[in-house]
Structure 1
């Protein structure tokens, strides 16, 4: 494991990547959308020139072969390789167009670039591929985060079974709409201290800086039982399935919640 390396799977416009870079980490960034990749590469070019950042225009895939990426035309961060997520996105009134991009297995990426200290994954329906890739390499990241499933309790249990098999024993469930309220601790617990304001949609603090106490699997699943009740009330299978549901949520300025699972060895 390279203690100075972060791998950011799902770079998008680079808000998370830039945070890790400013904290002094070396970053391998993965972004499948070619247009966003080129824009982000240009914006963060100074880090690329110094060798602190390497951006890859690829999609994590089950096979090393071209794969279809459904580029969301209304919410670019909802672009996905998952047909199920395309249906979800259409439910919310967004449009997608398919393009073909290079696909690579995550275990091959790790074998080429090494195991990071922290692995951040947010690739809309394909996060599990990264966990499966970790099964095929010996060394594991000290910390990782994935966007937890919000559709199936059984799928959530499968995620935690896989995390346990990988050696992860401590967990946090981080409510992502609250990330803009996070404050970087001083002195820093991860990398260098920076005074940083997180944007809505950012992954936020990680490792020992992530808010809240580390929980056992039993404890964090109790948290997720409450989270799934929140999903049922405010999610696509709750109030949103009714015609006036979206209007009501917008009038109350409520957003469908989502959570990231953070794990530590």
Structure 2
């Protein structure tokens, strides 16, 4: 039986790992920041000992030789740490450190073909996508943060993906609170995600898959930024791509519910209209 491997590129503090452990046989968490890797290793000591989780404390690169590279850790917000040198007007907010690195092709070559790859590497997502496709690595499911339309273009033109969903990073904790997912073993399980988590992937993401032509219109309306584009191939999708109108109605409804939940939480009580909106 083929091992189902999930790659968490930019694992941060491990907020998505409990979910990924339910979705695959092996989770490979790649994180450059040593302090965050220490947190992950302490929190998931049992899973690491069981061989279900591997933590790669390294900078993931698109190409080149493995070895020490300069990496920039943000002094306040660790999620902003990055491999590319920060611009001159913000570089004072970073600490430059030397860390070990590996190419994405080497990492996947070590642990096996991916079932899903999550890419959330500050200012370096597009480079990783290009490297994956150049190495003919096109997993059944993939997602990438999309600060640029280049991400969508790469998924279509080089990746050959033709079915898409969108996850708004700002509302993951609200939209996917007590969210029912299907585990690798086929069980229905309710799970929640913390703030700054990427959230679910594939069929666990709410809403139907969309065709590329409809999805690009959604991007035009929603904009880019802290949003993850999820992609697969139509023949693998459990649901056929839906109409643009149906998707937009569902997407707006989910965002409205998320805002209602946030308001209820903020004020510490649920008004009658709030309960209906957050249902």
In the superposition, the TM-score normalised over structure 2's length comes to 0.74
Residue 11 of structure 1: CA displacement?
Answer: 0.9
Match for 2:216 among 196, 218, 221? Answer: 221
Residue 73 of structure 1: CA displacement?
Answer: 1.6
Other structure's SS at 2:134 match: coil
Unaligned runs of 5+ in 2: 234-279
Deviations 1:147-166 (A, max 9, x none): 001xxxxx41x323321222
Deviations 1:178-225 (A, max 9, x none): 111214326x27654332221111111111111222112221111111
Alignment correspondent of 1:110: 108
Deviations 1:64-84 (A, max 9, x none): 232211111211111111234
Alignment correspondent of 2:238: none
Deviations 1:230-255 (A, max 9, x none): x6xxxxxxxxxxxxxxxxxxxxxxxx
- Tell me, in whole angstroms, the C-alpha distance in 2 between the residues paired with 1:106 and 1:260: 19
Alignment correspondent of 2:272: none
Match for 1:135 among 126, 133, 136? Answer: 133
The 1:2–1:76 alpha-carbon spacing in structure 2 relative to 1, beyond 3 Å, is: farther
RMSD of aligned alpha carbons:
2.4
- 1:165-244 alignment runs, 5 A limit: 165-180=158-173, 181-182=175-176, 183-185=178-180, 188=182, 192-228=187-223
In the superposition, the TM-score normalised over structure 1's length comes to 0.78
Alignment correspondent of 1:9: 9
Structure whose residues are more often strand by fraction: 2
> Is this contact kept in 1: 2:164–2:215, CA < 8 A?
yes
- 1:78-97 alignment runs, 5 A limit: 78-84=80-86, 90=90, 95-97=93-95
Deviations 1:12-38 (A, max 9, x none): 111112221144541011010112112
- Tell me, in whole angstroms, the C-alpha distance in 2 between the residues paired with 1:2 and 1:63: 30
- Tell me, in whole angstroms, the C-alpha distance in 1 between the residues paired with 2:112 and 2:194: 29
Larger Rg: 2
Match for 1:263 among 231, 238, 251? Answer: 231
Other structure's SS at 2:165 match: strand
